[in-house]
Chain A
Amino acid sequence: MKYIDEFRDGGLARGLAAAIARAAAVMPDREYRLMEFCGGHTHAISRYGLADLLPANVRMIHGPGCPVCVLPIGRVDQAIRLAMEHGVILCTYADTLRVPASDHLSLLKAKARGADIRMVYSTADALKIARDNPGREVVFFAIGFETTTPPTAVAVKLAETEGLKNFSVLCNHVLTPAAMHAILAVEGGVALDGFVGPAHVSTVIGSAPYEVFAGDYGKPVVIAGFEPLDVLQAILMLVRQINEGRACVENEFTRAVTRDGNRKAQALVAEIFELRESFEWRGLGTVPESALRLSPRYAACDAEQKFAVGYVAVPDNKACECAAILRGQKRPQECKIFGTVCTPENPVGSCMVSSEGACAAHYTYGRFREAA
């Protein structure tokens, strides 16, 4: 596969691994604690077994950049209520289907009870369902970071242009920099030496929004693609910055990310959405100015207003360590119910649901290391 295989080359990977080992040997007594913010990176690290290629003193800490993982139970409850009590066709990306909600429900279980819940691959699919079912209300369960926000904006814009009055959005779009602030602001929080920054988010917002983390917090950030060589290259760049005592935003993903990002997408997002004063994240708690809702001009497309499904916060299962894991304070295997009560088949916490979740990635790809 052209443009893919080049970034999965075993020979180059060994070369990068050797370079990382040499760089990390400069300060053999220190630990390099690097957080890969994005679940896409967590998945790549696990799927390609990259941990085996890193020296013992370079430790990857999984961040909260998994849209499904940070979605609190109350938000899934809202979606279920829309489908079960308001009779809407609820369109959702597949990842959210199995997230545990209240009353032992999930979207998948609600579907089995007769709720009309449909898996879609894009907002265009949801719009098509709305066009094909003019007599039904169709709600798109919008989740995700800045990467998935523009497609939702496009759908809202199209719905308005077409006069599609039966289409609305349950908006849960969240913001990457706000989450990074929250992680660094946790008192007695996780000790971090740098971030592997998310590539796809940065294609939209650019690299500039991370400059504050390098500047104010002194944490190097390297924006990286999701192929294994991208991740290894970013780790090497971070270790070198740390060795040199630098803290800058560097861009490993130059093939798609610029400093300014996608201005057109940013403008559309700014037109369709506005900042929420605060938003509850699983793991990070209530974070100010960390999420979006539809702007007043597009209120007709806002499912929360259209159907009066208020948000009710629901506490997580007490035994579940998702919160600490999402903050980077614990590793999945340090959770008492990891792999016993909580498995991908019967997830207790959201980190065990999405393939990008730290627990699911470790369970699926890496748990043989514990057994050994």
Chain B
Amino acid sequence: MNAVKPGYVRPLDLKQGRVDLSHGSGGRAMLQLIEQMFAAAFVNDSNDFLAQGNDGAVLPAVSGRLVMATDAHVVSPLFFPGGDIGCLSVHGTLNDVAVMGARPLWLAASFILEEGFPLADLQRIVDSMAAASLAAGVPIVTGDTKVVEQGKADGVFITTTGVGAMRPGVELGGARARPGDVILVSGSIGDHGMAIMSKRENLEFSAPIVSDTAALHGLIATLLDALPAESLYALRVLRDPTRGGLATTLNEIARQSGVGMLLDETAIPVHVAVAAACELLGLDPLYVANEGKLVAICAPEAAAVLLAALRAHPLGAEAAIIGQVQSDAQHFVQMQTRLGGRRMVDWLTGEQLPRIC
């Protein structure tokens, strides 16, 4: 890359310019986009992998087991209260790595850009990714860019892949919940989905709802630190309830573990604005997406310690114990309603909200 003579074309027009097919063609225009936008944003003192301009990043050896996760992001609108597709694409994959009990180390990012997409918007997105990656301490070490014709994509799609190192002694997984275990959630549910909804073109209501998009590995590290090594087994499952919301995540775990669950409706934290917006639209916050929340399932003896640890972290201030795992051959997630009756919290049918992450 360094061999290419600098100044061979005018710099990218970040005010008026738009993505065109040449930006994905492999020619000089693509090189310019990579250098002046992606590398300029992502390369820093702790990340010179991209600057090397190779097809892949050669990473240092890591001891122990690795975790790898990938996530495609197609959110619409691209910019929403509390975030944008850029930071979302960083947080989404980091969180998938972190909930396995790993410390995220590196990210890869691949972009599908639609011809005609404003470079100014792309710059905002890339800057947001860079800021999120820097704040998380997880560099974007390799990437790819493709451009498709107008109408073949919706502005920008971003796929990120993350690699992390497992913390020794941690064994987490959706199949590990046992009857008697306690279910915790790190804070209010439904914020992300309703923030997106509030900006939907055909739903122009305004509500002070902000997406909760956040990197959870710090919170998760706090949680794991709270347990002595010999008690780590007490933490069974961590998961971030994104698409399909809390209800879907709990149903997944119930099925994987072959158990049932009983939730207490009054214990589940929901912000008033989210509850009101859901009420207005006939949605159930249990099924609305989150991008910065954690569900933890643990043995009962660890619940108090873990709840305290969550609450001590800024991302877990509203954490709560919301229910219990129980034995159930049908693997039903049930809920004691605030009225005192009981209902199922079933799998989501169809889609509640389109393209939220």
Which positions in A face B, CB cutoff 8 Å? 1, 4, 8-10, 13-14, 17, 46-53, 97-98, 108, 120-121, 125, 128, 228, 344-345, 355, 360, 363-368, 371
Contact = CB atoms under 8 A, between A and B. Distances in A.
A242 to B, nearest CB: 23
B330 A53 contact: no
B346 A364 contact: yes
A366 B344 contact: yes
A1 B279 contact: yes
A48 B279 contact: no
A98 B338 contact: no
Given A120-B202, A371-B332, A48 B343 contact: yes
A371 B330 contact: yes
A364 to B, nearest CB: 5
B340 interface: yes
11 contacts: A10-B339, A47-B337, A49-B337, A49-B341, A51-B341, A52-B341, A52-B342, A121-B281, A128-B202, A355-B282, A365-B346
Contact of B334 (A48, A228, A360, A368): A368
Contacts of B279: 1, 4
Contact of A1 (B203, B272, B332): B272
B349 A10 contact: no
B339 A344 contact: no
Interface in B311-352: 329-330, 332, 334, 336-344, 346, 349-350
Contacts of A4: 275-276, 279
A53 B276 contact: no
Given A8-B338, A10-B338, A47-B337, A365 B275 contact: no
A52 B340 contact: yes
A246 B111 CA distance: 70
Given A121-B202, A371-B330, A371-B332, A366 B343 contact: yes
B266 interface: yes
B285 to A, nearest CB: 12
Contacts of B202: 120-121, 125, 128
Nearest to B330: A371
Contacts of A120: 202
A163 B343 CA distance: 50
Contacts of A108: 350
Interface in B132-185: none
Given A49-B342, A364-B344, A368-B344, 8 more contacts: A1-B272, A1-B279, A48-B343, A50-B341, A228-B339, A345-B349, A345-B350, A365-B346
Given A1-B275, A121-B203, A48 B337 contact: yes
Contact of A49 (B281, B329, B339, B350): B339
A47 B282 CA distance: 12
A50 B340 CA distance: 8
A130 to B, nearest CB: 13
B340 A365 contact: no
A9 B340 CA distance: 10
B339 A48 contact: yes
A166 to B, nearest CB: 18
Nearest to A129: B202
B328 to A, nearest CB: 8
A309 to B, nearest CB: 26
B349 A364 contact: yes
A51 B275 CA distance: 24
A53 B340 contact: yes
Given A121-B202, A121-B203, A125-B202, A8 B349 contact: no
Given A368-B330, A371-B332, A13 B350 contact: no
Given A1-B275, A121-B203, A368-B330, A13 B344 contact: no
B258 to A, nearest CB: 15
Interface string B103-147: 000000000000000000000000000000000000000000000
Nearest to B266: A10
A121 B222 CA distance: 43
A10 B344 contact: no
Contacts of A365: 343-344, 346
List the 10 closest pairs (A to B, CB-CB), nearest first.
A49-B341, A344-B349, A52-B341, A365-B343, A13-B339, A49-B343, A49-B342, A48-B339, A364-B346, A49-B337
Nearest to A228: B339
A53 B339 CA distance: 9
Query: Which of A14, A48, A344, A355 has the most chain B CB atoms inside 10 A of its CB?
Result: A48
Contacts of B275: 1, 4
A36 B10 CA distance: 71
B342 to A, nearest CB: 4
A98 B342 contact: no
A180 B118 CA distance: 58
Nearest to A344: B349
B110 to A, nearest CB: 27
A13 B266 CA distance: 14
Contacts of A355: 282
A125 B281 CA distance: 15
Interface string B261-288: 0000010000010011001011000000
Contacts of A345: 349-350
A304 B350 CA distance: 30
Contacts of B330: 368, 371
Nearest to B260: A368
